[in-house]
Amino acid sequence: MARNYLLLGTTLLALATPALCWGQYGHEITATIAEAHLLPSTRQAICGLLPGTFKCHLAGVAAWPDLIKQDPENNKYNSLHYVNERKNDIPRKCDNFGSSGWTSDHNILTAIVNRTRDIVSTDPRTISSVHDEALRFLVHFLGDLHQPFHLAGLYLGGNRVDVLWNGRKTNLHAVWDESLVNHMIIHTTDHTSPLPTSSSTPTLERERNIRIEEALRGSIYDAYTRSILIEGIHGRWANEIQEWISCPKPSVSLHDAQLRMAQGDLMFDDPVDVPVCPHHWTIKTHDMLCTYIWPFGLTDKTPPRELNTADYAERIRSELVVEKQLAIGGMRLAAVLNNVLASEDDKARIIRRPSNATHKTGTVPSRAGRSFGKLTIFTLQETIRLEDTDGNMFMTMSSITQNSHIPDQKDITCRAQSEADFVSDRAAGRTHRLSPILTDTNDTK
């Protein structure tokens, strides 16, 4: 059975280091999760971008944008780690995030788009420090994007809100940057041993385990990362991944977006030219700020309140809130990097018919000068795969679930735009821009 991919340094003492955005370990865990889901050609491209000292590991550069803050010459990058809405009503109101505009267009949303564009423009013949730095920033910013307090301008994102953690004074932002993650790193007691990779291990499981173990670096957070990967990404959240990495169809054209920017409009529209949608990806994370995540009544004037309690920290731990945010950030990072760095051969060879899929046949009209003709629709784990009559699969979508009725003449509209295809399922009334991700599925070859 051929391998089939579906597009899609430390001690305990270091846990007491000053707060970094998402914390050093949070960023490294996000990067490790992403690395375990990269296509081979994506890994090769990353090896060419990063200095050899990092041994091709994304985790090695994940916290770099925080570390360079120590040099005053790098202050110009500080505002790129967060975004502040003009009108700040959290924690009372979180809906329509960004509808009032942003206090500055020099923020994490524009930074993610710009760094992605820098990487897309990478020419293997002219790789420079610009591309290396773009990768480092992108890895970091896609981590920061999933730390809720990087989306809150109130009290400097909670930095001015004093709280207690195990009786020690800290601040609300730092609790999320480090305290919650560090607690779990110390107290994770399962997955402490390497995953089985022997020949007796089932093929798909063994190949998955090999990718995970190759991404790990013998760090203090290895067990915690394994637990997120095995129990979360390949377990309870497996059917959510396609939704995590998908982007809605842009509502504003590239020309209009550039025009608005030129006119000084501080609104932000997710781009149409690169496979990221940072604003769309912030919405659910920002909404968390109107739940118990921001403790009721907590301001910069209230006496410090203990947060490592049953009704706060223990609730966050029981609901796996932090673990899921790290997982989402890692999977989105993998999807973006696979989209912009993987070879066409890598992308093409992973798209094969799953042996345990069901199928119906439908018609797809011509779009963008490309005639798709008759297609076969395969459904598997809430993912729709479209194959042409020669068995070549060219896109996936998740707007029809496995249990949905798929008539023989399903009206599915498709159009191609660079590496991302837009698929609209009229019956479901949903539109997705699809991103590549690396997961396991059966292969008939």
- Among the candidates 347, 377, 411, a domain finishes at 347
Does 222 fall in a domain?
A: yes
**Last residue of some domain: 347, 371, 387?**
347
pLDDT tens for the chain, residues 1 to 445: 333 333 442 333 333 333 445 689 999 999 999 999 999 999 999 999 999 899 999 999 999 999 999 899 999 999 999 999 998 889 889 988 988 899 999 999 999 999 999 998 866 556 667 889 999 999 999 999 999 999 999 999 999 999 999 999 999 999 999 999 999 999 999 999 999 999 999 999 999 999 999 999 999 999 999 999 999 999 999 999 999 999 987 665 555 555 444 444 445 678 878 899 999 999 999 999 999 999 989 999 999 999 999 999 999 999 999 999 999 999 999 999 999 999 888 877 654 433 333 333 343 333 333 333 333 333 333 334 443 334 433 334 333 333 333 333 333 333 322 223 333 333 333 333 334 444 443 333 3
What type of residue sits at position 131? H
Tokens 């004037």: give the residue.
Answer: 301
Same domain, 249 and 366: no
Q: 243 with 383, same domain?
A: no
Q: Which residues contact 77 (CB under 8 A, 6 or more apart)?
A: 65, 68, 69, 137
- In a shared domain, residues 103 and 137: yes
pLDDT score, position 272: 79
Residue 402 CA to residue 398 CA, distance in Å, equals: 9
Number of folded domains in the chain? 2
70: number of Cβ within 10 Å: 7
Residue 127: the pLDDT is 63
Write down which residue in 289, 322, 347 finishes a domain.
347
Any domain includes 3 = no
SS3 state of residue 102: strand
Q: Which residue has the tokens 């209009």?
A: 256
Same domain, 74 and 218: yes
Query: Residue 99's domain is classified under what CATH number?
Result: 1.10.575.10
Model pLDDT, residue 130: 81
pLDDT of 249: 79
Residues 340 and 364 in one domain: no
Angle at Cα 339 formed by Cα 337 and Cα 345, nearest 5°? 115
- Whether residue 283 sits in one domain with residue 180: yes
Residues 34 and 150 in one domain: yes
CA 127-132-138 angle, 5° bins: 130
In this structure, the answer to whether residues 400 and 342 fall within a common structural domain is no
Together in a domain, 368 and 330: no
257 and 283 assigned to the same domain: yes
Whether residues 260 and 400 share a domain: the answer is no
Residue 402 to residues 360, 381, 414: CA-CA distances in angstroms? 12, 6, 20
Residue 111 domain-assigned (yes or no)? yes
Structural domain span for residue 288: 12-347
